[in-house]
Structure 1
């Protein structure tokens, strides 16, 4: 059983507590863009690793994640001590993550097998410590309040900071280049990554320690079920299975455009500066996040999420019919698609927290870590499927790098970028429509938790 530190049905979270909880999301996002987008090219073009070596190591570290994510979630659920269940992991993980960032972003001059070993070691270290921070950190959120709507406000702020971190990271190279140009210098790639290391690494430590200083954990210990039985019980939670199935299908659809936008803009629209369209998309998502809090209060989380997917589907169905010279129309459709973007981040997380409450009624235990661990696998699986399906099918259609594309490749781009995400959204809407926990049902769940 569990011992409470304070009541689960805390109705309101103060703005400073929401801010303290949201800041680590910004620092994790600001690290994510360099690692996923900039680092592979840095190590191939500047450091001298082969593309195949980096590809193999990146695939291997994803498999590593599939093991560590649920294990760390399980261990943090079972931990007990004066500092709480989550905080020791977040504290130690943030320090390890900062160290890994510095060593990975500032490699020494090595050659041959040594640089391969160096890159592999610090890449695995970075992803391990990332998991050590991220899973307990995300598990902390559902504990902070049991209020149906306050959770939406909390996760909306967290995911708003995540989007801000993504924008800051994406613009950082241009910022450094601009500053160096003013100084009459040109930043080398090694200098650019050194700047990122010594700015981004301290942020994750500072924001993580501020979060664990400010946020009070509610639960100090949990039950003693073993790893296999614990996850078997999670998979018997019908609302969770509906939620994660609908979310994963929707996420596969959203990851396809993220993977293919550069190709779509260049080869279908015959336009440039895809970064501008990404900026429109992310900024629109931030601006409309508060609106989705209001909408979810009026119609409920499930209906609000479905509405956001319908808006996204309507916008993207038009994208399928665009071609050369339609960049302006595309920008308008990207804006409308971005309206639902923030909802697709915040609302599933808020719904997931309600599902965890339902699990507590069933088991008498708080097991956020196990749910977040499985949720993390679903997110990474959907990203991997989006990349894999998109690039493999595009290659099968005859795509040629840096060349005029055949009609078959252009048509496949339209299908994968616009049509498949719409189909995924429709399937997700059908699945999510069966999700049973409404605001009234959640109120009953909270009453039953109060009697445990």
Structure 2
């Protein structure tokens, strides 16, 4: 059991490195190096994010059909991430930079999504629902550490070389190969499920499961606050706090807090139950958003503490909600790859909705990301970054009590 959790953690580390940090580093890198306009970059990122959201159910079906090939599909996903990373940062674009960026990032996030779905599903298949908390403890620590490393390394390498991003891409490839070799035994060739489950009809059947839908609704609402705050984070730090140089430090504090807190949340969940720990973490999350709503220019120390608190609470969300979902998948006899493709779809949809909704609304009130703003514009920014997420988190707690405690989940939580 311990060896299995360590192996999945190594793959989670690589997945974390290829996830959110690429969306942070890659656009700025291509704008700086190739001079792509911000409008063009924004349009490309919007199209990529739409594809990223809606391809997950298809990837889930592909994952469910390829379990008989063992670890080979995971190897192809890791290879896609690695090649895409090299194309992004280590090879000068031989095509139109915009097209090269699109192809490269498409490879990275497609490999990322497939590896995420397949690893979560295989973790449930190998360890069963009862051991998901221990698996989550190691897996989410691996993921958040991967995010931290990817957030720091490019800047670190730039201290010693002009092509620091290229060294980051090479480092990623080395870690990806090492993780793949280590996790390989956890993906034995198997044909566990009947072929009739591997279809769009079975995906629709999974989506119709009432208890599963309730967890997906909870996940959608609960992840929306983080999606909003992530989308508006840089704007809030630069325009509300007037501390653009601190943005990287705030991000590191956030993800380090998530990595450190995750083992404690899962240990507590082992003793007190997932439901009880989630309601505590959600309440603390409300406190962090509520505190952020009162911040103004120069409140760096207070915001640092808020980053630590909010990061710690996100660690609980990342680790414990998938545990409930995995238990319901096993209870409902749903094919794990299909179930987790829906989970991934919902998680990414919140980011897309946040980007589509929050940024245009800020524009409507006259918010200027590169200059001075009126008091009304700053209030709108605070509302989107802190107050609205606080309200959504309150709704999440209500849904937690209604869906988990009130609908019979509590016996499993």
- Counterpart in the other structure of 2:204: 232
- Counterpart in the other structure of 2:104: 122
Superposition TM-score, scaled by structure 2 size: 0.91
**How far apart, in 1, do the equivalents of 2:279 and 2:258 lie?**
16
The answer to whether the 8 Å contact 2:266/2:319 transfers is: no
- Counterpart in the other structure of 2:143: 162
25, 34, 45: which is aligned to 1:38? 25
49, 64, 79: which is aligned to 2:36? 49
Q: Gaps spanning 5+ residues in structure 1: where?
A: 1-12, 181-186, 361-365, 443-452
172, 188, 194: which is aligned to 2:153? 172
Alignment of 1:72-111 (within 5 A): 72-79=59-66, 81=68, 83-84=69-70, 87-108=71-92, 110=94
The answer to whether the 8 Å contact 2:207/2:342 transfers is: no
The 1:49/1:355 distance shift into structure 2, 3 A limit, reads same
- Counterpart in the other structure of 1:337: 310
Superposition TM-score, scaled by structure 1 size: 0.84
Q: Gaps spanning 5+ residues in structure 2: where?
A: none
**How far apart, in 2, do the equivalents of 1:90 and 1:80 lie?**
10
Per-residue deviation at 1:377?
1.1
SS of the residue aligned with 1:321? coil
Task: State how many pairs are aligned.
Answer: 409
The answer to whether the 8 Å contact 1:394/1:413 transfers is: yes
**How far apart, in 2, do the equivalents of 1:48 and 1:322 lie?**
35
Q: How far does the alpha carbon of each residue in 1:246-293 deviate from its partner, in whole angstroms, 9 at most, with x for none?
A: 111111111111222222223223334122222222222222222212
The answer to whether the 8 Å contact 2:151/2:252 transfers is: no
Per-residue deviation at 1:223?
4.1
The answer to whether the 8 Å contact 2:6/2:138 transfers is: yes
SS of the residue aligned with 1:220? coil
The 1:254/1:62 distance shift into structure 2, 3 A limit, reads same
SS of the residue aligned with 1:340? helix
> Over the residues paired in the alignment, what is the CA RMSD in angstroms?
2.3
Asked if 1:270 is matched to 2:242, the reply is yes
Per-residue deviation at 1:80?
5.3
356, 359, 373: which is aligned to 1:391? 359
**How far apart, in 2, do the equivalents of 1:205 and 1:324 lie?**
45
Moved more, 291-300 or 49-58: 49-58
The 1:298/1:338 distance shift into structure 2, 3 A limit, reads same
Structure with the greater alpha carbon radius of gyration: 1
Moved more, 370-379 or 222-231: 222-231
SS of the residue aligned with 2:366? coil
- Counterpart in the other structure of 1:400: 368
The 1:62/1:282 distance shift into structure 2, 3 A limit, reads closer
The 1:287/1:217 distance shift into structure 2, 3 A limit, reads farther
**How far apart, in 2, do the equivalents of 1:67 and 1:287 lie?**
32
SS of the residue aligned with 2:192? strand
Moved more, 58-67 or 345-354: 58-67
- Counterpart in the other structure of 1:430: 398
**How far apart, in 1, do the equivalents of 2:232 and 2:110 lie?**
28
The answer to whether the 8 Å contact 1:143/1:218 transfers is: no
- Counterpart in the other structure of 1:18: 5
The answer to whether the 8 Å contact 1:143/1:217 transfers is: no
- Counterpart in the other structure of 1:297: 270
281, 303, 311: which is aligned to 1:308? 281
Per-residue deviation at 1:155?
1.0
**How far apart, in 1, do the equivalents of 2:80 and 2:295 lie?**
47
Per-residue deviation at 1:441?
4.6
- Counterpart in the other structure of 2:127: 145
**How far apart, in 2, do the equivalents of 1:305 and 1:200 lie?**
33
